[in-house]
Structure 1
């Protein structure tokens, strides 16, 4: 599961600039939410029935509205829609609302949000010829059981330890089902992926104004300390602050990807990369990374490269270097 672009952008900027409190809170919330989705995926994978498929972070731009779906399970006799909440603080559900117990404020109306997503998802599935039940559940993934319900909403949510029994029961019920013609799971999965659009990213983010003051250079991926030229040898960088080790070639490519994230609305070029890295003697290696890993844009004379606006892990997930 890939991190959303905005989360990667904020993490990259945060490592190089002291974000104001509202942005730090936003970053923490996004990291917490992403961790919750990763935890949900891990639980589901342990009991995912043979032949079922799981899809994450789908975005649909339908004529009746835009929706982002945390997870869909495609099975022969049903589609399961899950919205995952990783609520860290103690909260309760009463009088149709979620409340933070410590601070008293209301959370979003998660059940209304899920219902709205269900309503928008139905015509999308119908347009793909899917004629099986759509089952939606809110998932509270935090293992500490932070949510207390004062109303019976059990048919609308799952807590972490209820996920596996729920999927096992669903598989057993489907094995006995004769009401619906079985789906071609792989065909529907591919159709949903094809129907999904790119992340609903904004043209600009308020934190973009801090990029100009962000710290430049190669930073340690472990402790975010600035790497000095004396810490770079022929094959690797070794951080004197934390002892972290990284192949030099990976560090250069990782930093170029970070440049692309910070300047996500611009093309990449060797001048930008060399000036940002700022270490004498690495210019040639930076140019080789651009030439070897990034596609040229249409502006050949300017030697611009297409900016993937993604971290090295997302842009080049399978790249390996000799001295990794």
Structure 2
């Protein structure tokens, strides 16, 4: 499962609890569109390719880069950059333009830098593969006017990209693929995070409590084993709801460890500190001794579905029990 970028996760949870600024809203919409395009390309890759890595972040001699997808075909390692842009884009005299305005970032330069950095990583690990770059525009509504694009970067529409993957799938190679994934992972680092978390803007008020998974409201009533939305009637297993909300706190305050007093404030009035303590001790990893003054739990700063992906069966089963009890 492809994870949303850390910044996208932050903006997603942020917009559920505060009013986004105009800049944040635009950034979030772009991030969502990009993620959808990447997921579509992932589905094609799962159908037609077998040797891939997704959302790779590398650091090499002080330089960093992010790549949407890597895969090997024959003696070639492809760096795929997926864009889900729509609107009029042009490239002239080394600059990118959107609807006539110069873009702050150069797509070709970013992809070229990623290709060069990856080639150096492979060379240092003695992996002999030729690195190639492909830029894919997923939205059929995009309008491109590219004057003298770099010759080393292939540019494809969504339709062309799918046909290309089909053609690669039909080609068979007898050669043994070198251990390129191990070489790449030697330089892998966590993804980019925003510079600030919600704790850096203390005057920015947010909605407290558990958010309904169905309608997004915060009016929840608690029973022994479930919390129920007073707005739409949706019931969620209490344990699931508490863990999910703790993860939301972790995303918004990713610079902090998880501490009970901070989480009590995040949940707000009407929630059980005793049950919160139980959930923390059961599902989260502690830091230091429990009786220490600064005792806390490790904060991964990622959303529930990623943080507890290895416990998805457990949480699905406790939710099923709640649903059966309501029938």
TM-score (norm 1): 0.85
Secondary structure of residue in 2 paired with 1:249: helix
Do structure 1's residue 105 and structure 2's residue 95 form an aligned pair?
A: no
In 1: Cα distance, 2:17 partner to 2:203 partner:
9
Which structure would you say has the larger RCO, counting Cα contacts within 8 Å and 6 or more residues apart? 1
Q: How far apart are 1:204 and its partner, in Å?
A: 2.9
Shift in alpha-carbon separation, 1:247–1:95, aligned structure 2, 3 A: same
What residue is the counterpart of 1:273 in the other structure? 263
Do structure 1's residue 183 and structure 2's residue 177 form an aligned pair?
A: yes
Higher mean Cα deviation, 52-61 or 78-87?
A: 52-61
What residue is the counterpart of 1:166 in the other structure? 164
In 2: Cα distance, 1:212 partner to 1:256 partner:
19
What residue is the counterpart of 1:285 in the other structure? 275
Do structure 1's residue 23 and structure 2's residue 21 form an aligned pair?
A: no
Deviations 1:139-174 (A, max 9, x none): 1012x3413335576962111111232123335556
Do structure 1's residue 137 and structure 2's residue 134 form an aligned pair?
A: yes
In 1: Cα distance, 2:111 partner to 2:215 partner:
39
Q: How far apart are 1:227 and its partner, in Å?
A: 2.4
In 1: Cα distance, 2:36 partner to 2:200 partner:
24
Aligned length: 310
Give structure 1 stretches of 5+ with no counterpart: none
In 2: Cα distance, 1:125 partner to 1:297 partner:
37
Secondary structure of residue in 2 paired with 1:314: helix
In 2: Cα distance, 1:17 partner to 1:89 partner:
29
Secondary structure of residue in 2 paired with 1:82: strand
In 1: Cα distance, 2:125 partner to 2:52 partner:
17
Deviations 1:240-263 (A, max 9, x none): 333433222111111111111222
Do structure 1's residue 147 and structure 2's residue 143 form an aligned pair?
A: yes
What residue is the counterpart of 1:43 in the other structure? 44
What residue is the counterpart of 1:121 in the other structure? 118
Q: How far apart are 1:281 and its partner, in Å?
A: 5.5
TM-score (norm 2): 0.84
In 1: Cα distance, 2:199 partner to 2:55 partner:
23
In 1: Cα distance, 2:299 partner to 2:62 partner:
32
What residue is the counterpart of 1:195 in the other structure? 187
